[in-house]
Amino acid sequence: MFEVGYLEQVREPWERYLFAEQFATAPSFVAARQDQTDTAAGRVVFHSLDSLGVEAKLSQPSSGLEEIEPAPGSVGFIAISSLSDIDDSDGDGIVDLDERVTYGTHPGLVDSDLDGIGDYEELNYWGVDWAEDTDGDTLINLLDLDSDNDGFRDGVEILHGFDPVDVDHFPTSPIMELGRMTVAGEWQPVWLTSKYLDPVVVAAITESSGQISKVMIRNSTPESFEVRTTTESEEEISYIVMERSSYRLADGTRIIAGFTEAAPSDDTVTFSFDDEFAVPPVVMASVVSANSPEAVSVALRKVEKENFVYTLLIDNPSDTESVNERIGFIAWEPSSGVAGEFSFETGHLNHVKPWWQEYQFSSPLYGIQSFVAVLL
């Protein structure tokens, strides 16, 4: 593998530059400034070279005792790595040379097309049809995220028993589960009962103890997640777990479960849907990581047909560096009915005031297992 190109506008502070395509391992890397007209231009220096990229900056030249600020420059580079017929850099069961030359997969990625199934497993699944292009989009099945273009990743369809090359065979209701539980200030594991590739978890307090408390989620995997509240008082929470994907119910109702990332230091963040909804959806969002030293929660600012706007709120903000958190969300068009084995209603409680009021569902829901709500 190789890449030849430029690092543009290299300046004095360290800055990370990414390769156009990830290498299997850190490549051999040679580089030089391409516009060095005099000593005041500064010398380029590098560190932290890996398979993804390198950090670069211009060193500050000096003229006698006088410091001179280096002018930004263009740096040419050549990055090269060899492909081995023995090594398997990503450990997926296919040697690097075969990945690049025979199959076109990436020797540094276990799942080259990010469809949720590893290259080796997918190669075995397709058999002699690995190089077919079922949906005619110029991507062979082995390298196609969605081989029949029905809106569902191949890995999701295979895991849940659907045919990834049959455009009419796909999930017609969300792949999900839900529940209610009592939690307090200690982390508690929740084991999932269904199979998932990339589950999205949202949760909220359903029965409040009266204390001001938030729900925290971490360590979300296809098998489980952990949850707690920010106070020691016991709170009843509801949670919904849904496979990351886009769904359309039989009546046309659209649902999207997905992820985004942001840091508490970000002012406001806009997440845009791939395709806009017919009407503004109801959005539920939860932080599903615990990277910050304090509890972080999501505050929705605006929800529209094409996007939603949010900020992250952190308890006891400090001067420590703000880090990114992962946010899971479910966007569901206002509606009611049946989705698979679940009856549901999504909508809005209008004019909620600082005293108790009763709100009626549009029709009775028997044996409610989960109720998630958020202020907008």
Output the domain CATH number for residue 64.
2.60.40.2080
Tally the domains of the chain.
3
The whole-number average pLDDT for the span 140-167 is: 93
Contacts of 52 by beta carbon, 8 Å cutoff, 6+ apart: 18, 19, 22, 23
DSSP tag of 127: G
**Residue 343 maps to a domain:** yes
pLDDT of 281 strictly over 90: yes
305 pLDDT exceeds 90? yes
pTM of the predicted protein model: 0.78
Asked whether residue 270 is assigned to any structural domain, the reply reads yes
CA-based R_g, the chain, Å = 25
Q: What b/e sequence results for 105-133 when a residue is b if at least 16 CB atoms lie within 10 Å of its CB, and e otherwise?
A: bbbbbbbbbebbbbbbebbebbeeebeee
Co-location of 244 and 302 in the same domain: yes
Burial class (CB in 10 A: 0-12, 13-18, 19+), 5: middle
Number of C-alpha atoms within 13 angstroms, CB side, residue 61?
13
pLDDT, average across residues 80-90: 83
Cα 106 to chain center, whole Å? 20
**Is residue 45 located within the same domain as residue 139?**
no
Closest to 326 in 3D by CA, of 356, 274, 291, 375: 291
Range of the domain at 29: 2-80
Residue 35 clears pLDDT 90, i.e. is over it: no
pLDDT (0 to 100) of residue 65: 46
**Within this chain, do residues 193 and 307 fall inside the same structural domain, yes or no?**
yes
Q: What's the confidence (pLDDT) of residue 124?
A: 94
- Once rounded to an integer, what is the mean pLDDT over residues 206-220? 83
Same domain membership, residue 323 and residue 254: yes
Does residue 111 share a domain with residue 62? no
* Structural domain ending residue among the three candidates 28, 51, 80: 80
Helix (H) or strand (E) holding 179: strand 176-183
If asked whether residues 226 and 273 sit together in one domain, one would say yes
